[in-house]
Structure formats: C-alpha cells, structure tokens
Amino acid sequence: MGGLKLEDSSGIILTDRQTDRQTDRQTDRQTDRQRNSNIDLTRIFACIAVVGLHTFPREHSIGTLLAYYLCGFAIPFFFMSSGYFLLNRGKINWNYPLKKAFSIIRLVVLWNLVFDILKSVFKVYSTGKLNIEWLDIPQDIIKSFLQKGEMGHFWYLGALIIVYILLPWMSQKSLESKRFLLFLIGTVCFIIQTISLFIAYPLQADVIQTFRVWTWLFYFLLGSFIEVITSRLKNKIHFDAHLILTVVVTGIVLAFHYYVGTRVILLEGKILKAEYFYDSILDVIWVVLFFSLLLRINLSKRVEEFIQKFASLTLGVYIIHFPLRLIVARILKVNSLTEAVCFWLIVLIISAGITWIIGKTKIGRYLTKI
C-alpha cells in the first residue's frame, strides 16, 4: 500500500517514487560528467551547419547549392550526439524521457508565445491596432511540431520527443540486440533510398520529418557505437589519413548530391533538399567519418573552455535562427556565394548573441535548454 521502499548508500530510506527521482538526477549528472568537449564540438558543427541549411539558397548557383549540401550532416550529427550519451549508460526508466518531453513541450509553447506577441507588436507598429489572436496560439504550437508555419523547424523537437519515448525500451537492449536493431533499421533506410533513386521520387517526401522515425532511430543508435568505431579507425589509420579520407568522401558526397538533386530527382521541379539523402549509405559513411574525425582531435584546455561555452548556445541558435533569417533576408539580398556566406554568418552570429543575452536572464533556462 505504501509503495516499495529501498535504502540508498547513505542509509536513507526511499520510496519507489523517490528512487525514480534519484535515478533521473543521477542520469542528468552522468550526462554532465560524461560530456566531453569533442562531442560538444560535433554539436557546434551541427549548429553551424543547420543555419547553413536554412540560409544557403539551393536554386541560386552551383556554389550556393554545394555549400547547402555541405551542411547536410547537421541533423544526423544532432541525433548521433544524443545517442552517444543516452544509450551507453544502461537502463533508463520512464521518468527521464517524460521529464525531457515535458521540457520540450514547455519550450515550444513559450517560444510560440514569444513570437506571437512579437508579431502582434509589429502589427501595432504598422497598423496602430493591437490584435492578438489567442486562439491561433494552440494551432501554431501544434503546427510547429508538424513542420508547418513560421516555427516549422520545431519538427526536430517533435522527433526528439518520439526518440525519448522509445529510449527506455532501447536502453534495455543488450549490445547484440542494439547491433541487430541498427542493422535492421539501416536496411530499411537503404531500401527506401534505393527505391527512391530507382523511381526518381523520394519516398520520404510522403512523411513529414517529425515522423521519419526510421532515420532518426538509425542515427541515434549509430551514435551509441561511434566511440567504438572511432577507436577502431584510430588503431587502423593515422589521423592525417583519416582527414584526407573524410575530405575525399565529402567531395564524392557533394558530387553525388549535386547529380541526383539536379538531374535524377526533382521534387515538384525543384532541386532536391538535403533531407532526402539522410538514408543513403554514402551519407552514412560520410557522417561516420566526419563525426569520428572530430572525436579524434586533441583539444587544448583553452579551446575546450571556448567549445563548452559555445555548445551551451546551440539549442538557442537552432531556435532563433529560423525566424531571424527572414528578417535579415529583407535587409541583405543574396546574389552571390560571397553574399550567401555573409548572410549565413550574420544570422549565426546574431542568433548566438541573442541566445547569450537570453541565457543571462532568469527565464533563460526555460527558453534555451531542455
């Protein structure tokens, strides 16, 4: 009737609910302890690249298109870095993913409120009338999870909730079961990509990114094996050879994306987006080589400190850059690769600055962290 009671190492009697809370806190502390600067570096690269995905125009020139495709590793990197931490610590109970899911929903609700209020302020400035459509806010929240509206990039957070919900089930799997699951889901990815190439139509286009669970689970699981993969690469090839191989494969990937995206598959007559290549075995090889290369870099203490500080801004940059780019685009017109690079850097730097300022406020942890 009173619930199961356990005794912790300090001799304190804990109820089952208290034990769950303690496990959650331990999981969070383990994440902080296990966090290393090289993984933070992969997140920084992913953050920089995701801004590039939304600022480099595909249709403008070959240069801007190749720059856009070069940023295609961003989303796989995000899921792999999460899988690296969360699938290498044993069993995780339900409280942890539920707490994370609640934090994500709270963050999405708050940011939709912020931007709806800002839009209303601009309307007052332009029309002189205050008009807040409160009934539109719940719709905006739902649409943002479903890759629609001005905050449609929150699809990633919706996909992350799904992955978190599946986390307790995945964390219970043995190493062999995880390997088999990775192989099984990977096979599904490669079949989808092969059929898409054969019929000249991306099958992924029929499913919004929020629900492309097969892709996100594959990279999430892959992240749990990346340390082992990196160790084996380190034993077999020198860092310089690894670097050269990564550069060569990057060139091959860009050539493949360019050819397929401009000549083989044109979705609604437009150049194919990077998201339709995530299931490609070539992209998986590229992502693994690049991710493991970053894990092999020896970082000085000073560089580590900078990386850790910048890494704390990545979620905020991801959130803010998407609507910010629309404002910057009204001021800066992109007519060349040089202007596109400037556009990308301006959006990135301003987003990081705004995130840093928000982080100094009392509500910063609710707006830039989950």
Cite the beta strand spans of the chain per DSSP E: 5-7, 13-15, 266-267, 270-271
367 part of a folded domain: yes
Give how far Cα 251 sits from Cα of 67, 246, 273, Å. 12, 9, 18
268 part of a folded domain: no
**Which tokens in the block code for residue 167?**
């986390």
- Rounded to the nearest 10°, the torsion over CA 103, 104, 106, 108 is 160
Distance CA 342, CA 352 (A): 15
Residue pair 153/162 in contact (Cβ under 8 Å)? The answer is no
91 part of a folded domain: no
pLDDT of residue 28: 45
- The tens digit of pLDDT for each residue in 329-370 reads 988 888 889 999 999 999 999 999 999 999 998 888 888 888
347 part of a folded domain: yes
61 part of a folded domain: no
Coil, strand or helix: which one is 355?
Answer: helix
Distance CA 250, CA 295 (A): 17
370 residues of the chain, pLDDT tens digit each:
444 333 343 333 333 444 444 444 444 444 443 458 999 999 999 999 999 999 999 888 999 999 999 999 999 999 999 999 899 888 888 999 999 999 999 999 999 888 888 777 776 666 666 666 666 778 888 999 998 887 889 999 999 999 999 999 999 999 999 999 999 999 999 999 999 999 999 999 999 999 999 999 999 999 999 999 999 999 999 999 999 999 999 999 999 999 999 999 988 889 999 999 999 999 999 999 999 999 999 998 999 999 999 999 999 999 999 999 988 998 888 888 999 999 999 999 999 999 999 999 888 888 888 8
With CA atoms as reference, report the closest residue to 221 among 97, 89, 83, 86: 83
**Which tokens in the block code for residue 343?**
């556009």
177 part of a folded domain: no
**Which tokens in the block code for residue 361?**
């406020």
The C-alpha angle 32, 145, 254, rounded to 5 degrees, equals 75
pLDDT of residue 287: 98
Residue pair 103/240 in contact (Cβ under 8 Å)? The answer is no
Distance CA 4, CA 19 (A): 10
**Which tokens in the block code for residue 185?**
């889901």
336 part of a folded domain: yes
Residue 340, domain extent:
303-370
Give how far Cα 275 sits from Cα of 50, 126, 332, Å. 11, 37, 26
Residue 88, phi then psi, degrees to nearest 5: -120, 30
209 part of a folded domain: no
pLDDT of residue 149: 81
**Domain count within the chain:** 1
- What DSSP line would sit under 134-192, residue for residue? TTHHHHHHHHHHTT-STTGGGHHHHHHHHHHHHHHHHHTS-HHHHHHHHHHHHHHHHHH
